Structures are given as C-alpha cells and as structure tokens.
Chain A
C-alpha cells in the first residue's frame, strides 16, 4: 500500500506477556517515529529512527520497551512483561527525512495505530 501500515490493529494481552508491534513505513522514507496515545492524553514520543539507527530513544518509558529497525524499512516495537499502564494506541509515522531543509515540509505520515489492551 501507499501509506504507513501497522499491525496488529488491535491486541489484547494479559499482564506480564510480551507484545510486538510492527510498522511498515512508506517506501523511501528514511525517518520513522513511534508514539503512543493513552486514553484522554496527547501523543507521547517514544523513539525515532533515521535509517536503522535511533538518535533519540529518550521517550521510551522503561527498559521493558525496545525498538529496532532493519533494512531501513520495517520497525518493531517490543514491550516486555506488559503492564496495565501500557494500554494505549501505539502510532507509527514516517517522513522522507528529518528537518525542514530542502523544501521538506516536515510532514509526518501516520499509520492508523495499534490499540493495545493489557488486562
């Protein structure tokens, strides 16, 4: 498809289980971002990739959270030993590159999100 694709769209899991969320960015986009939106909250930045490297991991809430990106394309966000407070919509976005240089509007293209519910 032409847009950012995320899977699964919905995931219900039990507390303590591990979950893996996948993001397939728009082809050719070098920058990839993970955010989460908890109920009634704004978008919380988690991690950002430029190519396969993550210059900014400052938003990861704990060491239970990790993310990787391989081949400059697909990224996976892994949450180990899930807790109820991890319940949220996890959004992935991609862009051609960071910054506004070279006429880049700075636009991020978002996927529809993965809704995680931890029981």
Chain B
C-alpha cells in the first residue's frame, strides 16, 4: 500500500521554464512533508519541507505547495536549470517516500 505516490516517473522541461513535480498521499495524519533530490551514485539531499499547518513554503527557486483537502503537494522549480536534472523524491514524516520523479532540464 503506497501511502505516498509520485505518479509521473519522469518530466522533461526546457531551461528557464517552470518544473512542477507532483505528489499525492493517502494518510491524513502525516504532519509534514519533505522533498529530496538525488543524483546518480549519491545519497539524496534535502531540498525543502512543509508542515501540514502551512500551505506554502518558499526557498529561493523552490516552492512547495500543500493542498490538504486534496492530499496533494507539489514542488515548483523556477527558473529550471540543467543542474536541477535529478530524481526528486517526495516524503512524508521522513518515513514514507514516493517512488521518485526523474527531472530532465534541457538547455
């Protein structure tokens, strides 16, 4: 039973445009969410988190939006850069990770 789902296995975006990565969850008891980025042969690195009491958190080019009623969150990267190309994982309460979305930013 996947409690955190990233339904898009991959996404391709042109440099300078917005990348939107989506994540859905089923457990309404999750109280915070995190996004991680992972390059090949490296461990994931933390990007941004959001508490369930908020609906938006912004850090530079990265913004996470949370819609609790829809049990949906999204990560916006704008403007996208080629160095953003990686696998992005959505996680809930540090314990439950999505399957990841491969982002490719084309220059």
Contact = CB atoms under 8 A, between A and B. Distances in A.
A108 B97 CA distance: 12
A111 B94 contact: no
Nearest to B59: A105
Interface size class, chain A: 20 to 34
Contact of B97 (A43, A99, A109, A113): A43
Contacts of A110: 36, 43-45
Interface string B45-80: 110010100000000000000000000000000000
Nearest to B46: A107
Given A95-B94, A98-B94, A42 B100 contact: yes
Interface string A71-109: 000000000000000000001010100111000011111
How many of chain B's residues touch chain A, expressed as a range? 20 to 34
A41, A42, A56, A108 — most chain B CB neighbours (10 Å): A42
A44 B42 CA distance: 16
Contact of A91 (B34, B44, B51, B94): B44
Nearest to B43: A110
A33 B34 CA distance: 15
B18 interface: no
Interface of B: 6, 31-32, 34, 36, 41-46, 49, 51, 89, 91, 94-100
